[in-house]
Amino acid sequence: MLKECPVCKNKKIREVGGEEIAYERSVSTGKVLKREKNGCITWWKYTCKCGWESETYSD
């Protein structure tokens, strides 16, 4: 887990990522019946306002 930008030492870096959310859909109507509130994080990276971006991490 990164705490600061390695370029400008800013501590307010952001984490950007994607998550996978499980759902249940009725095949006959195409309607989504259930969607999990919390997904599994599949990838993430860190960004800073100076333009720096970390590599992309994944599980």
To the nearest whole angstrom, how small is the minimum distance from the Cβ of residue 5 to Zn ion?
3
Binding residue for Zn ion, selected from 8, 21, 22, 40, defined by CB under 5 A:
8
Helices (H) and strands (E) in the chain, counts: 0, 5
To the nearest whole angstrom, how small is the minimum distance from the Cβ of residue 14 to Zn ion?
11
Is residue 39 classed as helix, strand or coil in its secondary structure?
A: coil
**Residues sharing a CB contact under 8 Å with residue 2, sequence separation 6 or more, in sequence order:** 13, 46, 54
Binding residue for Zn ion, selected from 2, 10, 24, 42, defined by CB under 5 A:
10
- Tell me which residues touch Zn ion (CB under 5 A): 5, 7-8, 10, 48, 50, 52
